[in-house]
């Protein structure tokens, strides 16, 4: 069973730049990603929007292996702030889960 | 505690305690400027952000950590964080990577070249010497924003005390941090920030020697995509008679060198670098980079290390 944390999005969305909900799941972003990100930005954003905290925690290594290189953003047709969204998810993980 | 948390914890602890993430002796940070008679402070300054100076340490640290990624030492990273609160781990000779002497000289030469090129362009830049601070890119990228606000305040005070108005940065990450990020986290951080490549381009400098060479260009993600500095380096090369060629992924679509994840995932970083280095080397046996992190990562991923040159090294040959 998926455990959902409905308050998660509010904890992550500490800045107006967080716009994961603008993502419409087309997958264009992953075409040229140099890391070959397994959970792809779009899947990660769904986890956040749905409050699936455990899935996010399981993906810590992948979330921190993104290069923030913006290749994905260059391709995204919906102007999703992919790298800033990922950075803010990192901020949440670092503060709330990793004891930094 | 996960490995990611432990490594980030060490970086953060160092930053809070020592205002930097890696320990480099102050002397090596400023030694490049020794014989140049640069004024302290002044309205326009060159800002190194320590990035060129850190590379000689990072090189040996990367080689060290690469073999240790899955090893006991990395499993001990959480303990390392606790120890690090009391002892500066990165400077303990037993664990510390030794700076590579020839890399140190090369980094210093790049910074001297940049300073001399600016002077040739008519820009008299000062320097903050020991007062200059690392801007915290590695923390910011990993989502650790809070200690940066304090750092931005301290730097703002130092800049005000020195009557600085214009900042000329030498690497893309420091350019981005000072031009966009610091302004965002501290609205009163209001300076004109330009990368040296932009300044040289604006000043329309004239070459003293025409170079007959073919050079493949590796754009930095940060310079090309975050800061949109794309045409300037090309114009400077072309102006000096250099025939530049572009890999399939260039300009706005440039491919990352892998460097940003080097501290956390060195193996993955090297795989990415090696792929990119091969693509570049199929275009030409001379490749230019515009960021010290790109230079280090790309050249260390291939046996053809000497093929990689910092843009400042090429520009110095043509313009000085
Ligand atoms: S390209 Fe943009 S809209 Fe499409 S999946 Fe990726 S982030 Fe979402
Ligand atoms: S920013 Fe991250 S997700 Fe986007 S292309 Fe680069 S490595 Fe992949």
Encode pLDDT of B213-229 as tens digits: 999 999 999 999 999 99
With a 6 Å cutoff on the Cβ, whether A38 touches ligand 2 is: no
Q: Is A76 close to ligand 1, i.e. is its CB under 6 Å away?
A: yes
- On the question of pLDDT at B73 being above 60, the answer is no
pLDDT of amino acid B94? 41
Helix pair B231-239, B311-319: axis angle to 10 deg = 30
Q: Does A89 touch chain B (CB under 8 A)?
A: yes
By the 8 A CB rule, do A88 and B161 touch? no
State in Å: Cα A67 to ligand 2 middle: 6
CB-ligand 1 contact for A86 (6 Å cutoff) = no
**Tally of domains in chain A:** 1
Q: Which domain holds residue A84?
A: 8-98
Q: Which of B4, B225, B275 sits opposite A74 (nearest CB)?
A: B225
Whether A74 and B260 lie within 8 Å, measured CB to CB: no
pLDDT at B74 over 60: no
Of B249, B252, B265, the CB nearest to A65: B265
Mean pLDDT computed over B198-223:
96
Residue B2 φ then ψ, to 5°: -75, 165
pLDDT > 70? residue B86: no
Mean pLDDT over B87-107 rounds to: 66
Burial class (CB in 10 A: 0-12, 13-18, 19+), B110: buried
Average pLDDT over residues B16-27: 74
Q: What is the pLDDT of residue B98?
A: 67
Instruction: Say what the pLDDT of residue B229 is.
Output: 98
pLDDT band at B25 (very low <50, low <70, confident <90, very high): confident
Binding-face residues of A in 49-68 toward B, CB within 8 A: 60-61, 64-68
Q: Decide if A85 is inside a domain.
A: yes
Q: Which atom of ligand 1 is nearest to the CA of A24?
A: 3
Q: How do residues B120-165 score in pLDDT, each as one tens digit?
A: 999 999 999 999 999 999 899 999 988 899 999 999 999 999 999 9
A8: its two tokens: 């998660």
**Cα B49 to Cα B132: distance, rounded to the nearest angstrom:** 7
Q: Is residue A3 part of a domain?
A: no
Give the mutation candidate from A18, A62, A67, A81 for the B interface (greatest B CB count, under 10 A): A67
B82 to chain A, any CB pair closer than 8 A? The answer is: no
A97 contacts B5? CB cut-off 8 A: yes
Ligand 2 centre to CA of A33 (Å) is 5
Contacts 24+ apart (CB under 8 A), B174-178: B174/B47, B174/B48, B174/B49, B174/B51, B174/B135, B174/B137, B175/B222, B175/B223, B175/B227, B176/B137, B176/B222, B176/B226, B176/B227, B177/B49, B177/B135, B177/B136, B177/B137, B177/B140, B178/B47, B178/B49, B178/B135
Q: Strands B166-169 and B214-217: what pairing? A: unpaired
| DSSP state letter for B41 | S
pLDDT value of position B54 = 87
| Residue B224 tokens, joined | 């090309």
pLDDT of residue B70: 52
Evaluate if residue B88 carries a pLDDT over 60. Answer: no
**Nearest bound ligand to CA B258?**
2
> How much is the pLDDT for B77?
60
Q: What is the pLDDT of residues B259-303, one digit of tens each?
A: 999 888 889 999 999 999 999 999 999 999 999 999 999 999 999
Q: For residues A12 and B181, give the distance between their C-alpha atoms in angstroms, rounded to a whole number.
A: 19
pLDDT tier for residue B9 given thresholds of 50, 70 and 90: confident
The pLDDT value given to residue B58: 72
Residue A1: inside a domain, yes or no?
no
What percent of chain B clears pLDDT 90, i.e. is strictly above it? 72
Low pLDDT (below 50) residues in chain A: none
**Contact criterion met (CB below 8 Å) for A64 and A94:** no
Q: pLDDT band at residue B318, thresholds of 50, 70 and 90? A: very high
3-state helix, strand, coil in chain A (%, to 5): 55, 0, 45
Q: Which residue has the higher pLDDT, B285 or B54?
A: B285
Please indicate whether residue A28, judged by its CB atom, sits closer than 6 Å to ligand 2.
Answer: no
Closest partner CB to A34 (pick from B226, B256, B265): B256
pLDDT greater than 50 at residue B198: yes
DSSP line for A5-31: -TTHHHHH--STT--GGG-----GGGT
Rg (CA), chain B: 19
The size of chain A, in residues, is 100
Structural element, H or E, at residue B166: strand B166-169
Residues in chain B with CB shorter than 8 Å from the CB of A90 are: 142-143
**pLDDT (tens digit per residue) in B226-242:** 999 999 999 999 999 99
Kindly list the residues from chain A whose CB atom is less than 8 angstroms away from the CB atom of residue B276: 34
pLDDT of residue B92: 43
Provide mean pLDDT across the span B36-43. 94
Q: Chain A: residue nearest B267 by CA?
A: A65
Say whether pLDDT at B204 is over 60.
yes
pLDDT category, B65, cuts 50, 70, 90?
low
Which residues in A lie closer than 8 A to residue B265 (C-beta atoms)? Answer: 61, 64-65
Reply yes or no on domain B207-319 having CATH 3.40.50. Answer: yes
DSSP calls for B172-239? HHHHHIIIIIHHHH-TT---EEEEHHHHHHHTT---SS----EEEE---HIIIIIS---HHHHHHHHH
Look-up of token digits 């915290």: B136
Average model confidence (pLDDT) across chain B = 88
B234 neighbors B288 (Cβ within 8 angstroms): no
* Spans of all domains in chain B: 25-69+96-200, 207-319
B265 close contact with A: CB closer than 8 A: yes
Ligand 2 centroid – CA A4 distance (Å): 26
Interatomic CA distance for residues B287 and B307, integer angstroms: 6
Higher pLDDT, B76 or B265: B265
What is the pLDDT, as a whole number, of residue A35? 94
Asked if A34's CB is within 8 angstroms of B258's CB, the reply is yes
pLDDT bracket for residue B3 (50, 70, 90): confident
User: Can you give the pTM of this predicted structure?
Assistant: 0.92
**HSE (side-chain half, CA atoms, 13 Å) at A26:** 14
Task: State the pLDDT at residue B95.
Answer: 47
Q: Is A69 on the interface with B (CB under 8 A)?
A: yes
Residue B177 CB partners (closer than 8 Å, separation 6+): B49, B135, B136, B137, B140
Q: Is the pLDDT of residue B19 over 80?
A: no
Residue B45 to residue B165: CA distance in whole angstroms: 8
Which sign does the torsion angle of CA B230, B235, B238, B242 carry?
negative
Residue B72, pLDDT > 60, answer no
Instruction: Give the residue, out of A23, A45, A70, with the most ligand 2 atoms within 8 A of its beta carbon, to mutate for a pocket test.
Output: A70
pLDDT at B131: 94
């Amino acid at each position: 069973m998926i455990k959902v944390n409905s308050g998660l999005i509010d904890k992550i969305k500490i800045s107006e730049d967080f716009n994961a909900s603008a993502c419409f799941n087309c997958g264009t972003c992953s075409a040229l990603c140099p890391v070959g990100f397994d959970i792809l930005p779009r899947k990660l954003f769904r986890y956040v929007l749905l409050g699936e905290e455990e899935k996010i925690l399981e993906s810590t290594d992948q979330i921190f292996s993104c290069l923030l290189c913006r290749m994905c953003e260059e391709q995204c047709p919906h102007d999703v702030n992919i790298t800033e969204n990922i950075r803010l998810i990192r901020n949440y993980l670092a503060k709330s889960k990793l004891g930094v | 505690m996960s490995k990611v948390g432990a490594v980030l914890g060490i970086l953060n602890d160092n930053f809070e305690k020592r205002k930097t993430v890696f320990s480099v002796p102050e002397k090596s940070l400023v030694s490049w400027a020794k014989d140049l008679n640069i004024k302290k402070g002044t309205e326009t300054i060159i800002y190194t952000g320590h990035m060129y100076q850190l590379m000689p340490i990072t090189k040996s640290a990367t080689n060290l950590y690469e073999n240790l990624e899955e090893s006991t030492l990395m499993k001990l990273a959480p303990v390392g964080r606790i120890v690090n609160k009391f002892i500066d781990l990165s400077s303990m000779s037993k664990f510390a990577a030794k700076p590579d002497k020839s890399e140190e000289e090369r980094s210093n030469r790049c910074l001297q070249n940049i300073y001399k090129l600016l002077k040739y362009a008519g820009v008299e830049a000062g320097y903050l010497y020991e007062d200059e601070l690392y801007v915290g890119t590695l923390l910011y990228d990993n989502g650790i924003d809070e200690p940066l606000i304090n750092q931005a305040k301290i730097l703002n005070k130092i800049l005000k005390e020195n009557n600085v108005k214009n900042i000329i940065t030498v690497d893309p990450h420091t350019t981005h941090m000072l031009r966009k990020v610091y302004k965002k986290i501290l609205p009163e951080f209001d300076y004109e920030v330009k990368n040296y490549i932009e300044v040289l381009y604006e000043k329309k400098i004239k070459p003293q020697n025409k170079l007959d060479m073919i050079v493949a260009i590796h754009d930095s993600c940060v310079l090309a995509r975050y800061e949109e500095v794309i045409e300037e380096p090309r114009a400077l090369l072309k102006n000096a008679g250099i025939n530049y060629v572009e890999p399939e992924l260039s300009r706005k679509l440039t491919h990352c060198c892998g460097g940003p994840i080097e501290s956390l995932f060195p193996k993955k970083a090297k795989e990415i670098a090696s792929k990119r280095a091969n693509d570049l080397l199929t275009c030409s046996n001379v490749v230019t980079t515009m960021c010290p992190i790109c230079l280090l990562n790309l050249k260390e991923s291939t046996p053809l290390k000497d093929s990689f040159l910092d843009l400042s090294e090429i520009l110095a040959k043509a313009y000085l």
